[in-house]
Chain A
């Protein structure tokens, strides 16, 4: 059926082409097209303008049938926000940290590292190895697994630099699709919008497990355990290491332990997405606990790390994929196969961001300063949560809003429905995704009251 459509499109475009050329030759249109047409007429040995019988698209584009892709739902929010002239507009769609003044932030340690790199005349821009910057890889593994992790000391970890979290997930899942016996990955319901596409394009099939409970605005732990229990042995399971996106709902440490036991007993393979280490609670170690208890039991897992948020390196695309293996020998072979995934994708990863990260992680003073700046970002977000919660309480807004302070990380799943969200956008110029997710990073003490007013109005005027 698709072939017929493509062919029809081709004939229609060929007809369009012919009539356009006809018009050109009779002198009705712009000179460039006319000269092109006459060039074709004079130099075409057949002397004809008719399409060759075997060419479906003579003169037309082979991609004429390509339709415009739908707007990205998240980026569409910012587009709409930018168009709005209202002075009180607030952008709560953006998944990037903003200061109290609503500005993007480049960390001081990053600026310092950047200066060091610029001022170092010996720095070159040569290709990195396929696996990326070696220092960066070692330091990243230490950061997430802990510097005293036995997996690292026993050389059982294969780490490759990738393009932020997305790139790490993609390379990891391509590897799984090629070398792992199970092709199904279970992802939480809901999850980051890009997750399903990444896994599907890598060749995995995607199923979901229950995660968010709208009634409590918290974790549906029973549902989660049930769904993972009924997953086939060996299936891959995507776990958000901390600060679940989009809900902000994380398991407790006890719950993580139960999840670990269940998964190990069923031989389920953990694939961690760690995009917010240090950014969630303010502590790098605390935010890595979920990953570390899995690694501590000696089992295998995959971990995708991103430095987009916790080092504010968003656009530099810095991340790492680590595969914890049961032996050093396996890790070596795994690394060699990861290279075969990477080489035909982009050959080797970008050097700049990884150099900044390595510079910071290996320097005691810079590292320490980073932890302070990181905590400041996390604290500002936590304080916005508190402010918003207090503001809603003060207004007597109906409903339980404690989830705002219970949820963690950049995002809050407010529980507001589509209609309420649309109302808030129209009447109060609040921009957020239609699933009710707000980015706490986009709030400031000045804008919290306005948001609270909007939520209050939405809840009281619309059910």
Chain B
């Protein structure tokens, strides 16, 4: 091997002397700075590198069972058994799997939605939730180049990156109330009111990431009403349908309220969490239009954005979703399995709160059970989080967000104890 390398080096020198004035060993990329690590995904990298037997990963939002293991749903395994050896791998259309889109729209808009019957929804398969948001952001830029996007404070960090890369200017609106660790409803409504009419808003349909704080049904109705008066555009990011309460219909309530009120919404759906299809990258972007003709036009333009990005979306995950949702038995199995996941999380919330209260923490931990979905915004500071990591080998994002999916009956006491240690003198 050494001699082969030497031969190649010889060849390289020869190559350089053949080619007159060819580039020297300097690089086109000398000025490329090392990029900062992704704040969320970097956490898991650090966790994996830690040799401690006590380590706990409550960083990335991927579901774990009570043994801390990733889960492949039974309905998914069955769908895969049906696919392997039976289906071909031809290109999907640019807009993705028609079947998967149909089923996704039923899930989001309602099984009997008139909008589906009237073909008023422009919808394309997307690369999970990220891809759906990005397609929308690029579409927004292309067709409403002067528009901005209002993003809740705080939100999933990647939302900012998505609209930034789409070159859509961003504003934030107040959302989280640190003192109560709940919703700052008054400020939220004020910000909606003060925004110019016809502004674009990103709303988390359920299980807000990272805070777990959702408006109540009544609050959603008020928001919807205000949006009507202000003629704002509501774009829903729904990454946790079914995963929040255990009931997909219930988790879609906000969207259904807006639809009843006549809003022409946009919606990003993801199957990463609720079907455990993370790495398959399956999702759907939909835009409710005035009529079928408009929906056809909008869909064709969304496809024009997808084509120079990846041509057509990946097949495998789309097959899985279609098979599960269109088979009554598999769908019913899925609903059971989603409820199991949601219930386990709800159970862990209770356990974590009880543990902290039993330890005699001076702080209120009500928010742990008030919040919903995969994440709990603990209220801990970056310094406290660093202590958790350095002293207790507990990994989470520095905004104090705990992924409840990483909490198990095996580690909840250890986690509570550690949190108590770093917060008791607050």
Contact = CB atoms under 8 A, between A and B. Distances in A.
Interface of A: 13, 32, 36, 39-40, 43-46, 52, 54-69, 72, 75, 96, 104-106, 110-111, 114-115, 117-118, 123-130, 148, 150, 153, 163-164, 166-167, 170, 179-181, 194, 197-198, 200-201, 234, 260-261, 264-265, 267, 269, 296-300, 308, 312-317, 323, 325-327, 330, 332-334, 336-337, 339-341, 343-353
Interface in B62-120: 62, 70-72, 76, 80-81, 84-85, 88-94, 114
The 4 closest A-B pairs by CB, nearest first: A297-B15, A315-B315, A351-B279, A264-B22
B373 interface: no
B308 A312 contact: no
Contacts of B128: 346-347
Nearest to A115: B84
A92 B312 CA distance: 20
23 contacts: A55-B230, A62-B198, A66-B294, A67-B297, A111-B84, A125-B277, A150-B8, A163-B314, A194-B307, A265-B20, A265-B21, A297-B11, A316-B89, A316-B315, A317-B310, A317-B312, A330-B30, A332-B34, A339-B38, A345-B134, A346-B127, A350-B316, A352-B279
A58 B60 CA distance: 41
Interface string B299-327: 01101100111111111110000000000
Q: Among the interface residues B31, B91, B264, B294, which one has the most CB atoms of the partner chain A within 10 A? A: B91
Nearest to A340: B35
A428 B299 CA distance: 34
B229 interface: yes
A72 B94 contact: yes
B28 A269 contact: yes
A69 B231 contact: no
Given A66-B143, A125-B277, A125-B279, A299 B22 contact: yes
A234 B128 CA distance: 37
A64 B298 CA distance: 9
Given A167-B309, A333-B33, A353-B316, 4 more contacts: A297-B18, A344-B134, A350-B127, A350-B280
B310 A52 contact: no
- Size bracket of the B interface: 35 or more
B308 A201 contact: yes
Interface in B132-149: 134, 143-144
Contact of A52 (B127, B231, B278, B301): B231
Nearest to B61: A127
Interface in B1-52: 1, 4-5, 8-9, 11-12, 15-16, 18-23, 25-35, 38, 41
Contacts of B272: 127
Given A299-B22, A316-B315, A128 B198 contact: no
Contacts of B15: 296-298
A290 to B, nearest CB: 15
B281 A55 contact: no
Given A261-B19, A333-B33, A68 B281 contact: no
Interface of B: 1, 4-5, 8-9, 11-12, 15-16, 18-23, 25-35, 38, 41, 60, 62, 70-72, 76, 80-81, 84-85, 88-94, 114, 127-128, 130-131, 134, 143-144, 158, 161-162, 164-165, 196-198, 225, 228-231, 233, 260-262, 264, 272, 276-281, 287, 289-290, 294, 296-298, 300-301, 303-304, 307-317
B74 to A, nearest CB: 12
A86 to B, nearest CB: 23
Contacts of A126: 62, 70, 278-279
B270 to A, nearest CB: 10
Contacts of B304: 69
Contact of B314 (A72, A197, A315): A315
A350 B34 contact: no
Nearest to A202: B308
Contacts of B143: 63, 65-66
B35 A298 contact: no
Given A296-B12, A315-B90, A124 B231 contact: no
Contacts of B114: 32
Contact of A264 (B19, B62, B230, B301): B19
B131 to A, nearest CB: 4
Q: Among the interface residues A110, A117, A349, which one has the most CB atoms of the partner chain B within 10 A? A: A349
Contacts of B296: 68
Q: Among the interface residues B5, B89, B308, which one has the most CB atoms of the partner chain A within 10 A? A: B89
A315 B89 CA distance: 5
Contact of B70 (A124, A267, A351): A124
